[in-house]
Amino acid sequence: MEEINKLKQELKKINAEAAGIRDLPTEKRAEFGKAINAKRAAILNKIAECEKALLDTEVLPIDVTAWSGVNEPLPEFYSAEMGSAHPLMTELDRVCDIYQMMGFDILEARQLDDEYHMFDTLNFAKEHPARDGYDTFRTEEGLIPPAHTSTMQHRVLKQFKSRLDNDGVLAVVVPGRVFRNEDVDATHEHTFYQCEGVYVSRDCNMGQMLGILREFFEKYYEQKLNIRTQPGYFPFTEPSLEFMIEKPKDLGGKKGDYLEMLGCGMIHPNVLKMAGINPEEFHGFAWGGGIDRLVMLRYGLDDVRHFESGNLNFLREF
């Protein structure tokens, strides 16, 4: 292949040389043209010979999806030592470990859902713009690859509501992959991971929610952090907040440099009612945020597209 590239460079030089025919007297152009054509033909013949030699070279095909038999030793290229866990999976395990230490159960999210769980159970109005195809993918059968892990809120509330009678507390975290119909750039992906948290008790409040979130981020980044909130809007929480942390100094942050990490708020009474929970007796809060953003900040990455690129040079760094 290296020889072919060299020959192609020579061919470019000959083509450039051929442009000089315009500056020659008319009587000399024919002879010059013949010489150029001869050079070009010689190079093209050499390139064809090299390409044929490449095709004739014996190549042993490898089917990486198959192994010839259980009684044979595992080929070297199948060695587990050659692979590694994807950074998102490694960090997702770490996120779940922290929440489990805080007393939360873990429930994996779905990767295909329906209109009812995506919108109806989350207090979305029938005319809400998120219901159209600009934000949400849909299959031909009318199913929805979830755009947020909040589609699991209704299932969590129904599946674990018996704990409210027994322990008085429902605490579940839901990690999962989500999908958005949007343009891809350094900070946006159509496929990424989120983590949803749901907490319900008789007397829970926003102070408890902010304490849990602050504790999580301090555990994850292994340092004390300043936090800030600002008003937000989500149909399934009221009041709703955007939760921010001050970017750590050792990750390039400056004082007053805050980053929005997730959305959160008190679970809307209508969402509790849909799950058969009395909002007069129980209160809840929920939050949801991207895992990819957590990992980008932790490792100083500047492009979210690395995670889905399949770039081995990037993956080998982890």
Domain 87-315, CATH: 3.30.930.10
How far apart CA 173 and CA 287 sit, in angstroms, is 9
Do 221 and 248 touch, CB atoms closer than 8 A? Answer: yes
- Name residue 234's beta-bridge partners: 237
In this predicted structure, what is the pLDDT of residue 212?
Answer: 96
- Sheet with strand 191-201: strands edge to edge: 105-106, 169-179, 191-201, 283-290, 258-267, 237-246, 227-234
Element (H, E) at 110: none
Residues 77, 82, 86, CA angle at the centre, nearest 5°? 130
List the one residue out of 107, 85, 86, 87 whose CA is nearest residue 96.
Answer: 107
Q: Which structure tokens are listed for 77?
A: 């290229």
How far apart CA 194 and CA 118 sit, in angstroms, is 15
Q: Which structure tokens are listed for 288?
A: 């949801």
How far apart CA 97 and CA 112 sit, in angstroms, is 25
Give 71-88 pLDDT, tens digit per residue: 555 555 555 566 678 888
DSSP conformation class of 185: B
- Residues 165-183 as b/e (b if ≥16 CB within 10 A, e otherwise) read eeeeebbbbbbbbbbbeee
Give 264-283 pLDDT, tens digit per residue: 999 999 999 999 999 999 99
CA distances to 102, 192, 206, 208, 241 from 203, rounded to whole Å, are: 18, 34, 10, 10, 19
List the pLDDT tens digit at each of the 318 positions of the chain: 678 778 878 877 887 787 777 778 878 878 888 888 888 888 888 888 877 777 666 555 555 555 555 555 555 555 556 667 888 898 999 999 999 999 999 999 998 999 899 899 999 888 777 676 557 888 888 898 888 999 999 999 999 988 998 888 999 999 999 988 877 777 778 888 999 999 999 999 999 999 999 999 999 998 899 999 999 999 999 999 999 999 877 677 778 889 899 999 999 999 999 999 999 999 999 999 999 988 888 888 888 888 888 777 777 777
Q: How is the chain split into domains, by residue range? A: 2-56, 87-315
pTM of the model: 0.71
C-alpha dihedral, 170 to 176 to 180 to 185, nearest 10°? 120
Complete DSSP assignment for 282-300 = -EEEEEEEEHHHHHHHHHT
How far apart CA 119 and CA 96 sit, in angstroms, is 26
How far apart CA 120 and CA 154 sit, in angstroms, is 10
Q: Which structure tokens are listed for 266?
A: 């008190």
Do 271 and 122 touch, CB atoms closer than 8 A? Answer: yes
